A = this chain, B = another copy of it.
Amino acid sequence: MTKPFHPPQRTLMGPGPSDVSPRVLEALGRPTIGHLDPAFVGMMDEVKALLQYAFQTRNALTMPVSAPGSAGMETCFTNLVEPGDKVVICQNGVFGGRMKENVERCGGTAVMVENEWGHAIDPNKLDETLKAHPDAKIVAFVHAETSTGAQSDAKTLVEIAHHHDCLTIVDAVTSLGGTPVLVDEWQIDAVYSGSQKCLSCTPGLSPISFSQRALDKVRSRTHKVQSWFLDLNLVMGYWGDGGKRTYHHTAPVNALYGLHEALVILKEEGLENAWARHTKHHQALCAGLEAMGLSFVVAPEHRLPQLNAVTIPTGVDDIAIRSTLLNDYALEIGAGLGVMAGKVWRIGLMGHACNARNIYLCLSALDDVLSRAGAPIKRGVAVAAAQALLKD
């Protein structure tokens, strides 16, 4: 007979899920109520308002999709891309490639703007591509590439897209809550994120926000949205403003309790303070890793504080090291993805996981495990280097 599952306690410093606050875990276990219960509908309104705060937007269409970040991505593409539409995608990592898949499965044509992995997207390349493709309707890019830890200049990329009269779809899965995502100020048209990164909620929900311009496009489509589940024309009947909520699908009630609590925590701290905390702890972790002799994949000016990709030292067994970290230190760090598999580790400092205790654990564990594996690192210096930046 199968027994109840009791997971081990881990420290989650990978690319997400990140450590979840005990407050969020406690919220998940509160009594389930109906998805049309007035009390629940009141909570939904609060979730919307809190997400508007997190995204820094007044967009009425701001809500969590009832599925993981990949479904949030698909919500943006399936609602905005019509068969035959040309979509310019700036790629600098794994998730740009996923955007291409989405466009093609919607019947659109993807024009790729390739950038080196680990680098920010080059705005000039986008501009040139748009000049060469005046019939492009949408520009899509990843703000914070989870596969490499590189951050691009979303504001500038959106400006260029608008100059060429394109709508913009922005992946803010890893940036939201960790670095500024200013949806209104940057005039992003459609943006999606995930619950399990810097929001430090459990995985399974994907916050999105659509501008009025994007919503107008959804409402004036000539082809039906190919996904019934993700069709915003229908979803908005349930999540829409005011009045009667129309049943569309059954919302993941308890998961939304968790997101609500995670967003309340973010509001309590304040977005600016959360961004500053990510930057400060990133600098400390970085000082420690570099003191040890590890090198970063991304140049300092484009590094995401919440996702630190470091090159695996030559001769070191990627999988063995990560297993030892997990088994001996209950510490999870992330593997490389795509062309970076086996070449880099991705160390997350996301949301609730972004704290001094985790940095000391991570540096201490790497110091031990890498030296045991015979890696050419400098021992016993990493923690002190980090401490120097965390003391004040």
Asked if A332 and B37 make an inter-chain contact with CB atoms under 8 angstroms apart, the answer reads yes
Given A202-B254, A204-B204, A255-B204; A32-B5 close (CB under 8 Å)? no
- Tell me if A's interface is mostly helix, strand, loop or mixed: loop
Instruction: Please indicate the chain B residues that have their CB under 8 angstroms from the CB of A33 in the complex.
Output: 7-8, 10, 12, 17, 332
Tell me if A314 is interfacial: C-beta within 8 Å of chain B.
no
Tell me if A326 is interfacial: C-beta within 8 Å of chain B.
yes
Asked if A39 and B102 make an inter-chain contact with CB atoms under 8 angstroms apart, the answer reads no
Complex copy number for this chain: 2
Instruction: Please indicate the chain B residues that have their CB under 8 angstroms from the CB of A38 in the complex.
Output: 326
Asked if B28 and A7 make an inter-chain contact with CB atoms under 8 angstroms apart, the answer reads no
Tell me if A389 is interfacial: C-beta within 8 Å of chain B.
no
- CB proximity of A364 to chain B, nearest CB, Å: 20
Asked if B32 and A4 make an inter-chain contact with CB atoms under 8 angstroms apart, the answer reads no
Q: Which of A302-349 contact B (CB under 8 A)?
A: 326, 332, 337
Chain B CB count within 10 A is highest, among A39, A267, A337, for A39
Instruction: Please indicate the chain B residues that have their CB under 8 angstroms from the CB of A5 in the complex.
Output: 27, 30, 43, 46, 257, 260-261
Instruction: Please indicate the chain B residues that have their CB under 8 angstroms from the CB of A9 in the complex.
Output: 31
Asked if A202 and B32 make an inter-chain contact with CB atoms under 8 angstroms apart, the answer reads yes
Asked if B16 and A254 make an inter-chain contact with CB atoms under 8 angstroms apart, the answer reads no
Give bound CA distance, A169 to B106, whole Å.
Answer: 24
Asked if B260 and A202 make an inter-chain contact with CB atoms under 8 angstroms apart, the answer reads no
Give bound CA distance, A27 to B225, whole Å.
Answer: 36
Tell me if A220 is interfacial: C-beta within 8 Å of chain B.
no
Selected contact of A7 from candidates B4, B10, B43, B49, CB within 8 Å: B43
Asked if B249 and A4 make an inter-chain contact with CB atoms under 8 angstroms apart, the answer reads no
Instruction: Please indicate the chain B residues that have their CB under 8 angstroms from the CB of A39 in the complex.
Output: 7-8
Q: Which of A127-180 contact B (CB under 8 A)?
A: none
Instruction: Please indicate the chain B residues that have their CB under 8 angstroms from the CB of A221 in the complex.
Output: none
Asked if A28 and B31 make an inter-chain contact with CB atoms under 8 angstroms apart, the answer reads no
Instruction: Please indicate the chain B residues that have their CB under 8 angstroms from the CB of A255 in the complex.
Output: 202, 204, 252, 254-255
Instruction: Please indicate the chain B residues that have their CB under 8 angstroms from the CB of A326 in the complex.
Output: 37-38
**Shortest Cβ distance from A260 into B: residue:** B5
Selected contact of A25 from candidates B17, B30, B46, B194, CB within 8 Å: B30
Asked if A225 and B2 make an inter-chain contact with CB atoms under 8 angstroms apart, the answer reads no
Selected contact of A67 from candidates B67, B104, B202, CB within 8 Å: B67
Asked if B250 and A16 make an inter-chain contact with CB atoms under 8 angstroms apart, the answer reads yes
Given A2-B49, A68-B249; A31-B25 close (CB under 8 Å)? yes
Tell me if A182 is interfacial: C-beta within 8 Å of chain B.
no
Instruction: Please indicate the chain B residues that have their CB under 8 angstroms from the CB of A251 in the complex.
Output: 68, 203-204
Selected contact of A32 from candidates B17, B26, B50, CB within 8 Å: B17
Tell me if A358 is interfacial: C-beta within 8 Å of chain B.
no
Selected contact of A71 from candidates B1, B67, B196, B260, CB within 8 Å: B67
**Shortest Cβ distance from A70 into B: residue:** B249
Given A32-B25, A33-B8; A267-B20 close (CB under 8 Å)? no
Instruction: Please indicate the chain B residues that have their CB under 8 angstroms from the CB of A3 in the complex.
Output: 264
Give bound CA distance, A117 to B67, whole Å.
Answer: 31
Instruction: Please indicate the chain B residues that have their CB under 8 angstroms from the CB of A254 in the complex.
Output: 20, 25, 28, 202-204, 255, 258
Residues of A within 8 A of B (CB): 1-10, 12, 14, 16-17, 19-20, 23, 25-35, 37-40, 43, 46, 49-50, 66-71, 73-74, 78, 98, 101-102, 104-106, 194, 196, 202-204, 224-229, 247-255, 257-258, 260-261, 263-264, 267-268, 326, 332, 337
